[in-house]
Amino acid sequence: MKKFGILTLIAVLVFSVSLAHAKWKPARPITLIVPWAAGGATDQTNRVLAGEMEKVLKQKIAVVNQPGAPSG
């Protein structure tokens, strides 16, 4: 049983490393939907987050406010 646990851990680590190095480029701009009104703390936080994500992903992210949109 101990060998199975070690082999599983190794498989998970190898798989996660390969995913981290995968090159992914979305076909269209990413839309981040904020389910609250514009101008609030949540909106501002998501806009800062989108800006940082743009730097990492090198892809434009549009922040769209849709009050009442499902959040989950």
Q: What's the pLDDT score for residue 72?
A: 60
Q: What's the pLDDT score for residue 27?
A: 77
Q: What's the pLDDT score for residue 62?
A: 93
Q: Domain for residue 8, yes or no?
A: no
Q: Taking the CB of residue 11, how many other CB atoms lie within 10 A of it?
A: 10
What does the DSSP 8-state code read for residue 31?
Answer: E
Q: Domain for residue 11, yes or no?
A: no
Place of tokens 């979305």: 26
Q: Domain for residue 9, yes or no?
A: no
Q: Domain for residue 59, yes or no?
A: yes
Domain holding 41, by residue range, is 25-72
Give tens-digit pLDDT for 4-54.
677 787 776 666 655 555 566 777 888 998 888 899 888 898 899 899 988
Give tens-digit pLDDT for 56-66.
888 899 999 98
For the chain, what is the domain count? 1
Q: How many Å apart are CA 23 and CA 26, to the nearest integer?
A: 10
Q: How many CA atoms lie within 13 A of 26 on its CB side?
A: 10
Q: What's the pLDDT score for residue 10?
A: 73
